[in-house]
Amino acid sequence: MSAAPRLLALLSLLQSGRRWSGAELSSRLEVSARTVRRDVARLRELGYRIDAAHGRDGAYRLGAGTALPPLLFDDEQATAIAIALQASGALGAEIEDAAARALATLRRVMPARLAHHLHALHIATVARAGDSAAPPVHPTELLALARAIRERHSIRFTYDRFGTTAPDGGPPVAPRCAEPHHLVAAHGRWYLLAWDVERDDWRLFAVHRIALRTPYGPRFARRQLPTPTVGEFVAARFKGSDIDAWPCRGAVVLQLPAGDVIPFAGDGTVTPIDDRSCTLEAGSWSWDSLAASFGRFGADMRVVGPPELAAAFASVAERFAHSAPRRANAGLAPDAPAS
């Protein structure tokens, strides 16, 4: 093996993250220990920090340097990076320009066998239906929170819940104190999962509403999440529950074909009854909201259960009736003059 391919092979081995003895590298590269030492010195000249342990065989491990040196990616890694860079617009962070430049750099040096496929791959990112747009978060804000999470520093910040620092001309928003646990990207927004010290409970904070106060606060002992994973906790909070399940679930029989209901059922379960009707089981954060959600289909229906859902239908129907114009209640045409 000539010098250049051998250097790339050595770099590939070191990038695996493990510690390699001089004897192992000599065997894998089929060269002498002296050649290994010389190649390690060449990589160091290129900017790679390679830590060495002294001993009979010596040991080498790739470390973090002061600057980013050239990197070596296999086909799967290069493909994953290219896809992630194209999908960066869905993250809600101000990195689109940097991601486009990085993707262009990667494509210029990508092997033809990969470039041929990835040039045909164009990813368009759109917001999920019903998601409101949030201001993008600058990477420096994410890095500041990430540092606090990594070093377990509590943070003090003002939190703009209402989109203004002083709603209705009231007093300024009081600072909050929290123990940051995790950064979460969901539905095109960034959230901070943290333990709210004053409220003695877990909270999700929208990062674009956080104004950090520096320096960081005292260190804290990491707490145990009430759910096995961060994803389960976030999914549960989005459902208004302590577990990843809707707190209110019920079922109705809709006088609609299953095929007409399935595209709009969300995470509900549709079961066909016949060609003209089906059962829809779904959940929501309250019984009234669940009853109202069934009403969006604009079809006759019958409540299967539970009794709380039937009571909610009665409550929602009464509320809607009171909200209707008086002339509609009187059976008048929309353009008829009121008496």
Rounded CA-CA distance 122/83 in Å is: 9
Residue 276 lies in a domain: yes
Residue 168 lies in a domain: yes
Residue 179 has a pLDDT of: 93
More confident residue, 108 or 198: 198
Pick the closest to residue 173 from 156, 185, 189 (CA basis): 156
User: What CATH number is given to the structural domain containing 291?
Assistant: 3.30.70
More confident residue, 126 or 325: 325
At residue 178 the predicted structure's pLDDT band, cuts being 50, 70 and 90, is very high
Rounded CA-CA distance 289/46 in Å is: 62
Residue 206 lies in a domain: yes
pTM: 0.55
Which residues lie below 8 Å from residue 302, measured CB to CB, with a gap of 6+?
A: 252, 253
Q: Do 146 and 232 share a structural domain?
A: yes
Q: Do 159 and 112 share a structural domain?
A: no
Q: Do 158 and 202 share a structural domain?
A: yes
Which whole number is the average pLDDT over 98-114? 76
* 187 and 132 Cβ atoms separated by less than 8 Å: no
Which whole number is the average pLDDT over 157-171? 64
Q: Do 201 and 164 share a structural domain?
A: yes
Evaluate if residue 111 carries a pLDDT over 90.
no
Residue 332 has a pLDDT of: 43
The share of the chain scoring above pLDDT 90, in percent, equals 9
Residue 125 lies in a domain: no
Q: Do 192 and 226 share a structural domain?
A: yes
At residue 307 the predicted structure's pLDDT band, cuts being 50, 70 and 90, is very high
Rounded CA-CA distance 333/233 in Å is: 50
Helices (H), the chain: 3-14, 22-29, 33-45, 75-86, 96-109, 112-118, 139-151, 230-238, 258-261, 287-295, 307-323, 326-329
Residue 45 has a pLDDT of: 81
More confident residue, 234 or 130: 234
Rounded CA-CA distance 150/63 in Å is: 19
Evaluate if residue 8 carries a pLDDT over 60.
yes
Judged by average pLDDT, the poorest of 112-121, 258-267, 286-295 is: 112-121
Q: Which amino acid is at 212?
A: L
pLDDT, tens only, 198-221? 888 888 888 888 888 866 888 999
How far, CA to CA in Å, does 76 sit from each of 12, 81, 100? 14, 9, 20
Residue 252 has a pLDDT of: 92
Residue 252 lies in a domain: yes
Residue 339 has a pLDDT of: 28
Three-state DSSP at 244 gives coil
Q: Do 311 and 253 share a structural domain?
A: yes
pLDDT, tens only, 235-283? 777 766 665 567 788 999 999 998 888 888 887 888 888 888 999 988 8
Residue-number span of the structural domain to which 163 is assigned? 139-238
Residue 180 has a pLDDT of: 92
pLDDT, tens only, 311-333? 998 888 888 888 777 654 455 44
Q: How many domains does the chain have?
A: 4
Which whole number is the average pLDDT over 88-115? 74
How far, CA to CA in Å, does 239 sit from each of 169, 234, 245? 32, 9, 7
Question: What is the chain's mean pLDDT, rounded?
Answer: 78
* 280 and 291 Cβ atoms separated by less than 8 Å: no
User: What CATH number is given to the structural domain containing 173?
Assistant: 2.30.30
Residue 203 lies in a domain: yes
pLDDT, tens only, 15-69? 777 788 888 888 888 888 888 888 888 888 877 888 887 766 568 888 776 556 6
Judged by average pLDDT, the poorest of 1-10, 89-98, 130-139, 251-260 is: 130-139
Residue 335 has a pLDDT of: 41
Pick the closest to residue 301 from 331, 277, 328, 321 (CA basis): 277
